Structures are given as structure tokens and as C-alpha cells.
Amino acid sequence: MLSKNHSENCFGFCHDCDRVHSLPTGNAIELAQELLRDFEKFKRLDFINDESQADPQFGFDQLFPGDRGHMFGILECENESGEQKILRAFSSLAGGIRKVPGWVSSMLDPKIFAEQVFPGQQKIKAMTAEMNGHGRETSAGAAIFEERKQFSQNLMREIHDFYEFTNFRGETRPLRDIFLKPDSIPGGVGECCAPKLLNHAAKNGLKPLGLAEFYWGGPNSSGRKQPGEFFSCCEDKCQPILGFMLCGVD
């Protein structure tokens, strides 16, 4: 849930300044509501393109079949001339979709994702299927379980090495140097909307004014996320990097 105190929506502790940096929601909630109206109207992610140019893989019926849903984010910024710029992002999508017209791309280089990350993820899926086929209790199943654990730990370390973050003082650092607890970095750091949006803004000379993240689609399986509901930046993956990322903003 979004904090009642909207100034605490997006924040993190910065080691360099020895204090918390934060970003309010600003106008981002209203902008997100406009975006939701576009979702209802167009029912596809590439709505900046004409209907005739629409790519079927970006249709909501393809991306979110059944009652699946997803996290989206909006960042209101201004450029050096004081003009408003609006950035949109989605959290990582299934099927390896990394780039959609009108949206901030994933932080990871698409080539690295395609050549190194995606095949690794597919291998883990295959190992899981194989393990379940044998049954976890059998010796073959247990052996695959161990093998999968090693493989996924190594893959995660490799993936972490690909991520670099830029802040609003123009500094760029690798994930391992900025995560507050570098020994316990969870999977998927940098794949949420907030880091994608802030990194893009920082690298393009845009000053962030407000950020909002919301869920859209069917109610999620645990029922904890309702379509159109706003959420604060997540505690496990984003807060530990937001102190560095927001440095220079406030």
C-alpha cells in the first residue's frame, strides 16, 4: 500500500550523505490515472503507435492472459529548460520482452539479457521440470535440486555484475557497491519500475519531480494487489538502492 505520507513513497538511506533521500508522488498519481484510462481504451502497451502499427505481442490479452496483472510506474520530470517530461516503465515482463515503444527500457543491455540471462532462466525452468518429474524425495530429484541451487546462485551473481546505476550527482556504480546489504542481494533488483525510471532520468539530464507505482490487471493470486492500486517502492529490492539513486535529487 502507498504510505499515507506521500513524501515517504520512494526513499532510501544514502551512505555517502549519511541520511535518507526521498522523492514525493507529486503529480505522478494523476498522470498514472491518465495512463490507466489509456490502458482501458487501447488494451495494449504500444498505444503511442497507431492501431495499424500495433504489435500483437504487446496486447494485454497476450501479455496478461487470464487474470494476470503487472506493476507499472510513472516518473514526472523536467528537463534543463523546465519542460515537463513524463517517463513510463513496467516491471520485468515474462517471455523476455525488454523494450516497448513509449516505455523506458530495461536497465540490462538487451543483448546481455538475450545471450546470458534468458538462457540461464530457461535452464532453471527445465531443471525444475526435471526435478518435479523425478520427485524431490528421490535421489535423482535431490541431485537435480542441488545442481539447480548451485546453478541459480551462480547465475544470480553473474546477473548482478551486469547492473550499474547512475544517480543525480552523475555517479555510476555497480549494484554490489550500492546495495545496503551486499551479501544478501535478492533476485530482480533493478527490474522494478522505480530504478528503471530514475536511472533513465539521471542518464538523460532529467530532474525527477514525482513518482508513482501501481498495479494493473486482474487481482493478483494472493489478492493483495488490486487493479489501479498504488504502492510505495518495495522494501526488499528498491529501498536498499534508492538512497544512492536519489542522491542529488533533494
Q: How far is the CB of 175 from Zn ion (least distance, A)?
A: 13
Backbone angles phi, psi at 189, to 5 degrees: -70, 130
Give me the count of residues in the chain: 250
Stretch that binds Zn ion, among 10-18, 31-39, 46-54, 121-129 (CB under 5 A): 10-18
Q: Using CB under 5 A, which of 16, 38, 55, 250 touches Zn ion? A: 16
Q: How far is the CB of 12 from Zn ion (least distance, A)?
A: 9
* CB 152 within 8 Å of CB 145: no
Q: Using CB under 5 A, which of 10, 14, 77, 211 touches Zn ion? A: 14
Nearer to Zn ion, 148 or 237 (CB): 237
Nearer to Zn ion, 38 or 250 (CB): 250
DSSP-derived secondary structure letter, 184: G
Q: Which residues of 30-39 are buried (b: 16+ CB within 10 A; e: fewer)?
A: ebbeebeeeb
Q: Using CB under 5 A, which of 197, 234, 245, 249 touches Zn ion? A: 234
Residue 211 lies near Zn ion (rule: CB under 5 A)? no
DSSP-derived secondary structure letter, 46: -
Nearer to Zn ion, 14 or 28 (CB): 14
Q: Work out the burial of residue 53: count CB atoms within 10 Å of its CB; fewer than 13 is exposed, 13-18 middle, 19 or more buried.
A: exposed
Q: Which residue has the CB atom at the shortest distance from Zn ion?
A: 192
Residue 238 lies near Zn ion (rule: CB under 5 A)? yes
Residue 75 lies near Zn ion (rule: CB under 5 A)? no
Q: Which of 193, 143, 201, 148 is nearest to 170 (CA)?
A: 201
Residues 151-210 interacting with Zn ion (rule: CB under 5 A): 192
Alpha carbon 15 to chain centroid, angstroms? 23
- Per CB under 5 A, residues contacting Zn ion are 14, 16-17, 192, 234, 237-238, 247
